[in-house]
Amino acid sequence: MAPQVGLFIPCYVDQLYPQVGIASLKILEHFGIDVEYPESQTCCGQPMANTGCTNEVAPLAKRFLEIFKSYDAVVCPSGSCVSMVKHHYDEYFSENKEYDELKAKTYELCDYLTTVLEIKTLAGRFPHKVGLHQSCHGLRELRLASSSELVKEPFGPARELLESIEGLEVTQLQRADECCGFGGTFAVAEEAVSCMMGEDRVHDHEQAGTEVLTALDMSCLMHLDGIIRRQKKPIRVMHISEIFAECL
Amino acid sequence: MPSHPKLADEFIKDKERAKWHDQSLWFVRSKRDKAVHQLPEWELLREQASKIKSYVVSHLPDLLEEFEKNAKAKGVHVHWARDAKEHNEIVHSILEKHQVKRVVKSKSMLTEECHLNPYLERHGIEIVDTDLGEWIVQLQDKPPSHIVMPAIHIKKEEIGELFHEKLGTEKGASDPQYLTESARQRLRQKFIEADAGITGVNFAIAETGGFVVCTNEGNADLGTSLNKLHIACMGIEKLIPRASDLSVFLRLLARSATGQPITTYSSHFHGPAPDSELHIVLLDNGRSEIADSDEFRRSLNCIRCGACMNTCPVYRRSGGYSYSNTVPGPIGSILGAAHDTKANSSLPFACSLCASCTDVCPVKIDLHHQLLTWRKEIRLKGLLPLSKRLSMKMMSWMMQAPRLYQFVGKMARKIVPYLPRFLVYNPFNAWGKQRELPDMPKQSFREWMKQNHDRK
């Protein structure tokens, strides 16, 4: 029997980017996974946690565990929200076996595809220059790719998956993995810095010839897309799951 | 004190300058990358350094005693200062005893932390910063904006202007060679006239009672060898246990700071020169309190290389002064919050939690996690602005009630598309100042699921 995956769709993706949820579902089902979307899910609590409001996170963390504990795996198209569940819930659960299990079985979508399903290549065609934005939490908290600061063997399964798609060319950036400036509430509280960071990221992709800008996190893309559309730049923004789904 | 976002906003208003500042520091970060990638053992060195420093911080009292004993045996006068005030008084009393009127100082962030310069000036003692960058900011009557490159925010044309005004160099000159030579001539005079030299300390060795000062300009050596009195000021966390540990730190420091294999001068001081006096002032100023805290202890691992500032996308764009703290950037936000949480409560939020600082740190301080922990502390201490506290509370309530969350989401998706632009993009909407909001989809994902996804 195929493992049952609980699909974890971050709140803002549910409300603002349903196509990312649909694409994620389509991909998982394409690979024969039995997916269930537990409807009572809302938010993992990251905005509150990042603001320091841990009391406000506690009930959400407990709800999250109740909702997702029975699945064989939990998969989510957002490194940042996965990192919240895996790395920042400890204080709400002391010596809780169910939480320890949840932590181990929660995956970012590309991570699930490459490490659990061991998918190395994707069929299909996507004849575009694609710019991969390395979202920080996936990169430096979940270690889903090598970061430029560390002296380690470079790796990047998501990038390899993209590169396996026919016609797809991943563009080369001047600053491989700099933050886009979203940072949750930072985007509003530090508006000036946040927007300058975003603008610099967009500019780096422009000089690299990016036609389609993608990432493992829709939140970074929401911020970058906001700048791209305000400045009317000819760059299209797609979550990585949308590209994969188009290639199935 | 104005908050970080406000000062950052002011700095960024001059877009060209902010861009130039970012690029200057990114250049240093790139140099650092090149230098560290030449060492296959880099991560091993970081691991070792982190372990040594963690040992030091958890054994501070013993190691400090060992250091004091060994330093005294070498004829060094050892002083203890609880806070900045005591530190300045001690330094002043030593200078007074020797009837010193003119002091040359090599760069020391510790004396910046204590505001030693204005203190001594108030007591009629001339003190000259001899590090070129630091001298430039001293001439401007400003503090350093970076701990390793104190004048990184000033363009060479502005230095030309400043030197013309203060040193009488040619008007409009901006040639670095010419300006440096002019500074050199004037500083040389200051070195010769001085009666005492003050230095910082990069590493003090418990085992030997000696210490090491790293500079690129040799100003520490010149300042301490031309006169008979040397006062070294150090924070108590600057200790390392053994002389053999030095090799680890000297390899990490300069590479992380500027991408050099080693600083041009790494000068070792083990006791006073003949007929001279050597004093060491050991300063606590809140450090033992940090050493006692499980969450923030590791911030004392810091060797002040500045790599976290160079890599920090926020620091690079907002400039050192936006932090209003002696040490800016990620590590400064942690230390600043520890020193005066209320005054510095906006600093731990001046961070997108990108974690680049944590990966770049040569002594493996978990900087971004500590910043996050500080946000929690700030909330607990009631220092979080009401607007943030309320909005997070409301969001949490809504997210605990799935139906309410769905209802609010649905309403927003129905209403926002019909609102006139000026209602959506108003001064209260910080998101929309330079960014478009996402287009509102007709359906949420869960609504789509209900309608389209056949249950198996």
What pLDDT does A3 receive?
80
> Which distant-in-sequence residues (6+ apart) come within 8 Å of A51 by Cβ?
A184, A185, B375, B379, B384, B388, B392
Residue A158, pLDDT above cutoff 60: yes
What pLDDT does A18 receive?
98
Would you say A198 and A222 are in contact if contact means Cβ atoms under 8 Å apart? no
What pLDDT does B326 receive?
96
Q: Which of B23, B317, B352, B316 is nearest to A179 (CA)?
A: B352
What number is the average pLDDT over the span B17-33?
Answer: 98
Subunit contact A188:B430, Cβ cutoff 8 A? yes
Chain B residues 303-342 with CB within 8 Å of chain A: 311, 313-314, 317-318
What number is the average pLDDT over the span B357-363?
Answer: 98
What number is the average pLDDT over the span B123-133?
Answer: 97
What number is the average pLDDT over the span B236-256?
Answer: 98
**Residue B456: band (very low, low, confident or very high) from pLDDT cuts 50, 70, 90:** very low
Strands in B77-81's sheet, in edge-to-edge order, are B77-81, B277-283, B229-235, B196-199, B102-105, B126-129
Per-residue pLDDT of B28-69, as tens digits, reads 999 999 999 999 999 999 999 999 999 999 999 999 999 999
What is the SS3 assignment for A218? helix
What pLDDT does B391 receive?
95
- State the distance between the two ends of chain B, measured CA to CA, in whole angstroms: 60
Per-residue pLDDT of B181-229, as tens digits, reads 999 999 999 999 999 999 999 999 999 999 999 999 999 999 999 999 9
Max distance between CA atoms of chain B, in angstroms, equals 92
Q: What does the alpha-carbon distance between residue B286 and residue B340 come to, in Å, rounded to a whole number?
A: 10
> Exposed, middle or buried by CB within 10 Å (0-12, 13-18, 19+), for B81?
buried
What is the SS3 assignment for B430? coil
Q: Look up the ipTM and state it.
A: 0.97
Chain B residues lying within 8 Å of A200, measured CB to CB: 22
Q: Which of A195, A54, A149 is nearest to B352 (CA)?
A: A195
What pLDDT does A193 receive?
98
What pLDDT does B453 receive?
81
Q: What does the alpha-carbon distance between residue B175 and residue B181 come to, in Å, rounded to a whole number?
A: 10
Q: Does B375 touch chain A (CB under 8 A)?
A: yes
Query: How is chain B split into domains, by residue range?
Result: 14-154+195-289, 401-454
Chain A residues lying within 8 Å of B359, measured CB to CB: 140, 147, 149-150
Q: What is the pTM of this model?
A: 0.97
A203's enclosing H/E stretch is helix A191-208
**Residue B1: band (very low, low, confident or very high) from pLDDT cuts 50, 70, 90:** confident
Mean pLDDT of chain B: 96
Per-residue pLDDT of A213-239, as tens digits, reads 999 999 999 999 999 999 999 999 999
Q: Does B448 touch chain A (CB under 8 A)?
A: yes
Torsion angles phi and psi, residue A166, rounded to 5: -65, 130
Strands (E), B10-84: 77-81
Per-residue pLDDT of B71-89, as tens digits, reads 999 999 999 999 999 999 9
What number is the average pLDDT over the span B307-323?
Answer: 98
Per-residue pLDDT of A106-151, as tens digits, reads 999 999 999 999 999 999 999 999 999 999 999 999 999 999 999 9
Buried-exposed string B47-74: b where 16+ CB fall within 10 A, e elsewhere? ebbbebbbebbeebeebbebbbebbeee
What is the SS3 assignment for A50? helix
Residue B237, pLDDT above cutoff 80: yes
Q: Does B443 touch chain A (CB under 8 A)?
A: yes
> Exposed, middle or buried by CB within 10 Å (0-12, 13-18, 19+), for B93?
exposed
Torsion angles phi and psi, residue B197, rounded to 5: -120, 135
Classify domain B14-154+195-289 by CATH architecture. Answer: 3-Layer(aba) Sandwich (3.40)
